[in-house]
Amino acid sequence: MATPRTLSRSLQKLRYPSFRSISQLGHPSFSTCSRIKSHSPLTCQPRVVAPLLRQFSTSPSHQHGHIHKPKEGEELYVTFIDKEEKEHKLAVAEGDNLLDIAQAHDLEMEGACGGSCACSTCHVIVLDEGFYEKMPEPEDDENDMLDLAFGLTETSRLGCQIVMTKELDGLRVKLPSMTRNLQASDFSSKS
């Protein structure tokens, strides 16, 4: 099975094919290529390697965030209140987390670390303390990231760590007016 390292090497090979892989693809060998003296192998890349490049396609927004379609009669409801105070009540499936749900519905939740609990850009404020109490306690990682969140409140959580369960049916969360993306601010402070 391919490991992340071998996958990354394969990707690198596709981007920067070695001289050998170019000739294996049927490119004239370096001794017979009449243009070889005037340009590097990489300048041949568009002609020779193009068939190998992966095709990219766009997907409709409802496929973002990898959420599940709720089964009929088993829908759970969660309401997001956005920065403009607009309410978005959504029918969702058990097991999906708030980051994926928000992104699948094009709500403004950045999720800079992709849900690995390493940023605070999926910060949400749980509006009902009763629901907040029903959620499993945040782990240390989540608390560490929450400490960095802009506008932290007593009922703040990270959206990527909140998984919808039957107990959370009817949950209402507010998206904070701002989030802090430390990586982005690092870059801007250096420039």
Spacing of C-alpha 16 from chain mean position:
26
Contact indicator for 99, 67 with CB cutoff of 8 Å: no
Q: Among the residues of 41-109, which ranges form H helices? A: 45-49, 98-104
| Total residues at interface with ligand FES (CB under 6 A) | 13
175 contacts ligand FES (rule: CB under 6 A): no
Beta carbon of residue 142, minimum distance to ligand FES (angstroms, whole number): 8
Q: Is 135 in the site for ligand FES (CB under 6 A)?
A: no
Minimum CB separation of residue 114 from ligand FES in Å reads 6
Does residue 118 bind ligand FES (CB under 6 A)?
Answer: yes
> Is residue 182 part of the contact set for ligand FES (CB under 6 A)?
no
Shortest distance, position 25 Cβ to ligand FES, whole Å: 40
Q: Which position among 17, 41, 111, 176 is part of the footprint of ligand FES (CB under 6 A)?
A: 111
What's the closest the beta carbon of residue 168 comes to ligand FES, in angstroms?
17
Is 77 in contact with 89 (CB distance < 8 Å)? yes
The whole-angstrom separation of Cα 29 and Cα 175 is 59
Residue 103 within binding range of ligand FES, rule CB under 6 A: no
Return the residues of window 82-101 that contact ligand FES according to CB under 6 A: 99
Separation of alpha carbons 166 and 95, rounded Å: 9
Torsion sign (Cα): 100, 106, 108, 110: positive
Say if CB 87 and CB 131 are below 8 A apart: no
Residue of 119, 124, 125, 162 that binds ligand FES (CB under 6 A): 119
**Piece of 43-51, 52-60, 116-124, 166-174 that binds ligand FES (CB under 6 A):** 116-124
DSSP state of 154: T
If one asks whether residue 173 binds ligand FES (CB under 6 A), the answer comes out as no
Instruction: Report the first-to-last Cα separation within the chain, whole angstroms.
Output: 41
Question: Alpha helix (H) ranges present in 60-139?
Answer: 98-104, 129-134
Residues within the interface to ligand FES (CB under 6 A): 99, 111-113, 115, 117-119, 121-122, 145, 158, 160
